[in-house]
Amino acid sequence: MRTTPYTRLTIPLALIGLLVFSSLVLITLYLVPPRHANAQSVDLKTSAVKWSGDGLKLELQAMPPDLVRAFFLGRGFSAKDADYIANTGCIYRSALGNNGVKPGDPATTIELTKWRIMGPKEPQTIQTRQQWAKIWDTRKVSDNAKVAFYWALFPTAQSYQASDYNWGMISFNMPPGTRFDLEVRWRNGDVDKNKVLKKLECGK
């Protein structure tokens, strides 16, 4: 089969996406949230924040900057750009989904652009895949690294049927050690819902 420059490029990019996806599966298998919980809780062993209710289940865990740096160094980023992510991104591992258990339970839709971060500054929004893409264009990051980063981050918007969930990284765009509250917003069926998670902290 004759290969073209496009063929040679897309095959490695597909492999990168698969490797990033596999890595996130391994580091977040234990992050699958409980189906039922009445209040925000913290796993004392992992410091993971867990909550479940009104069609949503979630678990969030801050990643230390050294781990963030190592993760992205291993996916084609330069030391300078990996440092940039570790020092500004406030990266959390996440597992989010629908806590319904029956096929007829309403779908849950999550849009990260609607979440609100309440920290030292005025309320701000999540730093999404699309916002990071503009940063990487400015910093002239390689295409392979861009693809790896895109697939590492949680989707900006996604809908889930009962018992479905997904995992990925979420960027809160603050320095290491910053403390904040987080208003999580989602839609369960036709009803808008929200929950404020208290006393979160960027990895340090």
**Secondary structure element (H or E) that encloses residue 92, with its range:** strand 91-97
Residue 92 to residue 201: CA distance in whole angstroms? 10
What range defines the domain where residue 176 resides?
5-201
Mean pLDDT value across residues 3-32: 45
Residue 148 reports pLDDT greater than 60? yes
Residue 197 reports pLDDT greater than 80? yes
> CB 148: neighbour CB atoms within 10 A?
23
> Residue 47 — pLDDT band, cuts 50, 70, 90?
confident
- Rounded to two decimals, the pTM is 0.80
Question: How much is the mean pLDDT over the chain?
Answer: 85
Packing angle of the helix pair 143-152, 129-138 (nearest 10 deg): 160
Burial 67-99 (b: 16+ CB within 10 A, else e): ebbebbbebbbeeebbbbbbebbbbbbbbbbbb
- Determine the pLDDT at residue 119: 87
Residue 66 reports pLDDT greater than 60? yes
Mean pLDDT value across residues 144-156: 97
- The residue count of the chain comes to 204
> Residue 181 — pLDDT band, cuts 50, 70, 90?
very high
Residue 74 reports pLDDT greater than 60? yes
State the first-to-last Cα distance of the chain, in angstroms, to the nearest integer.
50
Number of separate domains in the chain = 1
